[in-house]
Structure 1
Amino acid sequence: MIPWEEIDRAKVPGQKEDVTLRKRGTEFSIRTAETELMNSRLHGSEEALAELTCSRIRQKSGLKILIGGLGMGYTLAAALEHSGPDALITVSELIPAVVGWNRKYLGHLAGMPLNDPRVSVKEEDIAKTIREKESFWNAIILDVDNGPEGLTRKANDLIYGRAGLEKSFRALCPGGILAVWSSGADEAFTRRLKQGGFKTETLTTRARKPAKGSRHTIWLARKP
C-alpha cells in the first residue's frame, strides 16, 4: 500500500491542535491528529449539501450564498454548478492555510472553483461573516468541522448553538435557507432549529456516489 505523505500542517486559530494535509497517490486528506475531516474520495454528501440547498431557493437569479468552510472545494463547486451566472458566492474559511492548499494542491479536484469570478473568500470565522449583514443571504451553507457536534473547535457553538442560529435567522432573506452538514444525526440540533423559527427538513445522504459510503445528515431549514 502507498504510504501517506504529509504535505503541510497548520494551526487552527484559537486552538492548540494542528490540521494536516496529506497525500497518498492521487488521494488527499485533511485531518486532525485523531480525526479525518475531509477526504478527496468521499465528497458526495458535500456536493449534495449545495445541490439540495440551491434546489430549495425560491429566488432563481441574483442569488447571494454564504458557505462556511472551504474544505477541498466540493461544496463550493456544486453551489457554482447549481446557481446562475449572476450569483454571488462568499466562502468564509477560518484557516488561511486551507485556502492556500486549495490554490496550490487541491483546486484541480473540484474544477478550480476559487478561480470562478462569482466567488469571493473571507479568511475569518463564519460566525463573524454571518453577523455582518441582516436579511441579505438567500442561503447560508455550513460545512464546518464535523457538524453541530464538531470535534475541532468548541467555538463552533457560536454558530450551532441557539444564539448562533438566531444570528443566521436574522442574516437570511425571507424564504432563505440555512443548510447544515453533519457526520451524524443530532435530534437536539433539530429541536434548536425548530425552536429558532425555522421550518426544518432533515435528510440523509451518502459519502460517496452513487449511494455508497457512510451516511451523513443534512438539515435544510427555511426562514419563513
Structure 2
Amino acid sequence: MTATIRAVLWDFGGVILSSPFEAFRRYEAERGLPADFIRGINSRNPDSNAWARFERGETDAAGFGELFLAESTALGHPLHGREILPLISGELRPRMVAALKQVKARFKVACLTNNMPLGHGPGMALRADRAAAIAQVMTLFDAVVESSKIGIRKPEPAFYQAACDLLGIQPTEAVFLDDLGINLKPAAAMGMRTIKVGDPDVALQELGRHIGMEFP
C-alpha cells in the first residue's frame, strides 16, 4: 500500500529561485568560456571539490575562491571562485511561491538547500527589498535544512533523513522537488516520491497529481 503523503520538500535554488545554471551560462558566453564549463567543474569530484567543501561549511569564501581557481586552472580556464559567488542566487519564481503557500495549507513543508556559510547568494549584497522577499519566503517553511549548518549535503542520505526527522515523518510520506537528478536519486531510494524541476509548470502539474491539488 502506498503511504499517505504528509509533507512536501522543496529545494530552494532552481526550484523556488530560478536556476543558477542560467546565470552560469550567461557568464560563460560573456567571457568566452566553453558552455557549461562552470557546471562541469562542480560535477567533478562532487563529494570533495571546492563547492562541496563550501556547502558543508568546511571552508570560507576566500578558501573556496582559491580552491575553485585551482580546479578551473587544471581544466584549462583559470577562474577565481569570487567571480562565481555573485551568480548563485537566482530570482524568486512567483508561481512556485504561490504553490508553496497553497501546499502549506494542507501539508508540512520543508526547504532542503545546499548553501554556503553566509546563506543564499554569498559574495554579493542583495538589495534590501530582494533580501526581505527571500527571507519572507523562508518563514513559510516548517523546517529548513541547510548544508552549511549541519555539515552534510545533498545527495547524502543523512541530509534527507534530517529533514524527515524535523518534520516527524517517514521518507515514504514525502514528495521532494529538486532541479538535479543526482539529488533526487537517494531520496527516491529512501521511498520519497521525487520530481525533477525543469519547467516549473510541468513540475507543479506532477506535484498536483501526487498530492491531489491543482495550481492556478
State the TM bucket, normalised to the shorter chain: 0.3 to 0.5
**Normalized per residue, which structure has more strand?**
1
Whichever of the two has the greater Rg, that structure is 2
**Normalized per residue, which structure has more helix?**
2
Q: State the structure with bigger RCO (CA 8 A, min sep 6), 1 or 2.
A: 2
Q: TM-score, length-normalised on structure 1?
A: 0.36
Q: TM-score, length-normalised on structure 2?
A: 0.37
